[in-house]
Structure 1
Amino acid sequence: MKREVISIFVDNSANVLTRVASLFGRRGFNIESLTVSTTSDPAISRITAVFNGNEQSLHQILTQTRKLEVVRDIFTLEKGRSLFRELLLVKVACDKTNRAAIREIVDIYRGKIISLSKTCMIVELTGASEKIDGFLDMLSCYDVLEVCRTGVTGISRDANTEVEDEE
């Protein structure tokens, strides 16, 4: 099983995400990460989905998803030819005895402290999933109060991946 990241351009309308996600579920695929946003064309949204599968399952999900009338385009984001990022917000309990140590970890990972009080700090970090995982592992010896991750979003390095107007 291999981690697959696919990008799906769809009509920007109600229930489109439900239709795409339910297709994955009906085929027995578990979506590990899912992000959705509008594109440069407000009529089109981009869904980035991450799941584990093999070549056969990837082909099956691409073929079945492509058949949905709301789908404009679908393709795999290949690891060496694409960029992937996640956003993490994490709330960590702190006091004057450990604040500097936590700040040092944040600096090493190029994070940003976006809120600070006497009892906790909230850190923002963006990067590859492995970087986010490593950062959380380093914070595991502190009292992590809350974690919020966006999931993977990705974009191909190639120039011709945006859906063209179909007029």
Structure 2
Amino acid sequence: MKHTLSVLVEDEAGALTRIAGMFARRGFNIESLAVGSAEQSGTTRITMVVAGDEQAVEQITKQLHKLINVLRVQDITTIPCVERELMLIKVNATTATRSEIIELATVFRARIVDVAEESVTVEVTGDPGKMVAIIQMLTRFGIKEIARTGKISLTRESGVNTEFLRTQPPAATRV
């Protein structure tokens, strides 16, 4: 199972290296990594996605707590969150296919950020599922390049779990 960890660290040189080194020494692969300034000056939020069972992730969390500069570690996998990724995707485009690609981008609320004679570059922001879906739709045109950020995530203060809401029928159709 994939777990999302939110790690708050002091903004000091070498903090990310120590964290990555700890994962490497224990044989864990970081599948996604996003690092950026946090809400407090002098702190950085690291959002990472790692694969492992509950016990392995619990052990890695304990090890993270032991590292200097680590202020807080939270496994937010099962907590209601807002999750986003950013992706740039360059797709082969001809005069005949360009309008269809632009139409697909519109459906996904993506933006066209570059148009060239033989390609179109699309910027997509959304949850990881949206990224997979647009890649599937654009594959038939021929994908030239993809650049993708890691997942960023914040817990929902409202506590509303949108994953649960997606599986429920609309209120008007419930009996």
TM-score, normalized by length of structure 2? 0.86
Give aligned pairs, total: 158
Alignment of 1:2-151 (within 5 A): 2-151=1-150
Q: How far off is 1:63 after superposition?
A: 0.3
Q: Deviations over 1:90-147 (max 9, x none)?
A: 1112121100111111111111001112221110001111110110011111121110
* Misfit runs of 4+, over 2 Å: none
SS of equivalent residue, structure 2 residue 132: helix
Task: Determine the structure 1 residue equivalent to 2:155.
Answer: 156
Q: How far off is 1:79 after superposition?
A: 4.1
Provide the identity percentage.
34
SS of equivalent residue, structure 1 residue 114: strand
Task: Determine the structure 2 residue equivalent to 1:163.
Answer: none
Are residues 13 and 59 of structure 1, via their aligned partners in 2, closer, same or farther at CA, if it must alter by over 3 Å? same
Q: How far off is 1:80 after superposition?
A: 4.8
SS of equivalent residue, structure 2 residue 96: coil
How far apart, CA to CA, are the structure 2 residues paired with 1:91 and 1:47?
27
How far apart, CA to CA, are the structure 1 residues paired with 2:78 and 2:98?
36
Counterpart amino acid of residue 110 in structure 2: G
Q: Deviations over 1:17-68 (max 9, x none)?
A: 0100111111111100000001122300000010111110111011000011
How far apart, CA to CA, are the structure 1 residues paired with 2:80 and 2:128?
16
How far apart, CA to CA, are the structure 1 residues paired with 2:16 and 2:148?
19
- Indicate the RMSD between aligned Cα atoms, in angstroms: 1.2
Q: How far off is 1:154 after superposition?
A: 0.5
